[in-house]
Amino acid sequence: MTRKADPRAARLPVPAGELPPFAPVPRQCQRHDGWTPARQCAFIEALADTGSVAAACKAVNMSERGAYHLRRQPGAEEFRHAWDIALDLGVRRVEDVVMDRALNGVQEPLYSYGKLIGTRTRYNDRLLMFILRNRAPDRFGARIDGGSARGLNAVGKMEAERLKQQWRKEWEAEQARVSPQEVRASIDRKIADIRARSEARWQSEWESLSEETRAAWTAFEALRNRDLDAMRADEDLRRRLRFGPKEDVPALRPEDVRRVQPPEPEVAKTRWTLKDENFDP
């Protein structure tokens, strides 16, 4: 059975001019099996090709620990800058490979009773949607809470959380500067504005009615008020005939309530009786 090659070591040549020139990290002693200037340049090129530090170290036959140690050495500023650019190029190439797999699929072997009978192409729709959401979040991002905001990647979520905390602090600082009187005055202004807009709307609707409709509405209000007054008067008359005139009872003051004492409970008296059950006259 043929062993698959390590995909991290798959070299895609980087076009000339994309990697910046850099000064190799100076070494105290030059060893043929150490981080020579040529090996450092080969490492940066491999890192840009694969996007993997492990694969780049494998390509130059060096260890990852040695690469990170070289990155921390004095005079490695240009090497670190070239490292970051190469890693960014490598990540872009990985994204291109992932996009190609999402669009064209991956060939999978088909076996039957241990024998290879053919291949099939498997497409990954979830991978394709993931790439689209991250490359074009304005078009393919999922809506959040039904609003117009689109789905965010990890960096976007961190930025949104930072802005949320910042806006929260600004809002709390603004609320601390506002007094209750100012809040009450703001509410009164809003209520007055709503009332003015409602009255203006009612006035506009009233003016849009014809003279006949206005007269009918005025007559309706007059008849309604007359009937309601008659009903109230009739209710007052029935109440007087049944209960008499209504008297205003003054409300009890707190000191009068304290004066009212609940009645004392009556003490049960003991009654004694004589009873002779064996009396025989």
pLDDT at 2: 44
Model confidence at 21, pLDDT cuts 50, 70, 90, reads: confident
Tokens describing residue 30: 């030059």
Question: What is the model's pTM?
Answer: 0.40
What is the token pair recorded at 250?
A: 């003054």
Contacts of 27 (CB under 8 A, 6+ apart): 34, 35, 36
State the greatest distance between any 2 C-alpha atoms of the chain, in Å, as a whole number.
Answer: 146
Of 136, 167, 166, nearest in space to 152 by CA:
136
Do residues 119 and 110 touch, judged by C-beta distance below 8 A? yes
Q: What percentage of the chain exceeds 70 in pLDDT? A: 75
- Amino acid identity, position 8: R
Residue predicted with more confidence, 269 or 27: 27
Of residues 174 and 119, more confidently modeled: 119
Kindly tell me the burial class for residue 251, based on how many C-beta atoms sit within 10 Å of its own C-beta (0-12, 13-18, 19 or more). Answer: exposed
* Closest-CA residue to 42 (of 31, 64, 57): 57
Domain locations along the chain: 8-102, 105-177
**According to the model, what pLDDT value does residue 9 have?**
41
Q: Are 110 and 117 in contact (CB under 8 A)?
A: yes
pLDDT at residue number 159: 76
CA distance 14 to 49: 6
The token pair at 254 is 């707190």
Of 62-71, 157-166, 179-188, 242-251, the one with minimum mean pLDDT is: 242-251
Least confident of 167-181, 223-237, 246-260: 246-260
Where is pLDDT greater, at 258 or 175? 175
- Residue for token digits 């009332």? 195
C-beta neighbour count of 79 within 10 angstroms: 20
pLDDT in tens, 99-118: 888 888 888 999 999 899 99
| 10 or 253, higher pLDDT | 253
φ, ψ dihedrals at 108, nearest 5°: -115, 135
Q: Is 183 exposed, middle or buried (0-12, 13-18, 19+ CB in 10 A)?
A: exposed
Q: For residue range 184-213, what is the model confidence (pLDDT) as tens digits?
A: 888 999 999 999 999 999 899 988 989 999
User: Mean pLDDT lowest for which of 70-74, 91-95, 174-178?
Assistant: 174-178
- Cα–Cα distance for residue pair 93/49, rounded to 1 Å: 7
10 Å Cβ neighbour count for 123?
12
Region 134-151: mean pLDDT is 58
d(CA 125, CA 103): 9
pLDDT at 61 over 70: yes
pLDDT tens digits for range 242-281:
776 666 556 666 666 555 566 677 777 777 766 656 655 5
Residue 176 has pLDDT above 50, yes or no: yes
Only one residue has tokens 């050495």, namely: 73
Two structure tokens written together for 237: 């008359």
